[in-house]
Amino acid sequence: MPQGWCVYLLRCADDSLYCGISNDLAARIDTHNRGRGARYTRVRLPVVLAYAEACEDRSSASRREAAIKKLDRKAKLALVAAGCN
């Protein structure tokens, strides 16, 4: 799991993917699974980490998140399969 700022993809219980950023990934995933994370994940619990990528700072994490969110599902799944960190 990356330290510092990172962008991540979660696989939700309905097999959808959620993208976000965090500077404490383990705590953020726990927050999602307690139903106190993003509204999107609250009704799709539990969630599991599918992909994480370390970033230099919050700004670069936000830019990478925006880029990933523009990808279609097939491209996101390819990213997960590649497992690049």
- CATH number, position 48: 3.40.1440.10
Three-class DSSP category at 50: strand
Mean pLDDT of 4-24: 97
**Is the confidence at residue 84, as pLDDT, over 70?**
no
pLDDT for the residue numbered 12: 97
For 15: left if phi > 0, alpha if psi spans -120 to 50, otherwise beta; the answer is left
The per-residue pLDDT for range 27-77, each reduced to its tens digit, is 999 999 999 999 999 999 999 999 999 999 999 999 999 999 999 999 999
Q: Which domain holds residue 24?
A: 6-82
* CA neighbor of 47 nearest in space, from 60, 38, 56: 38
> What is the distance between the alpha carbons of residues 49 and 76, in angstroms, rounded to a whole number?
13
Q: Is 1 within a domain?
A: no
> What is the distance between the alpha carbons of residues 15 and 29, in angstroms, rounded to a whole number?
16
Q: Is 50 within a domain?
A: yes
The count of structural domains within the chain is: 1
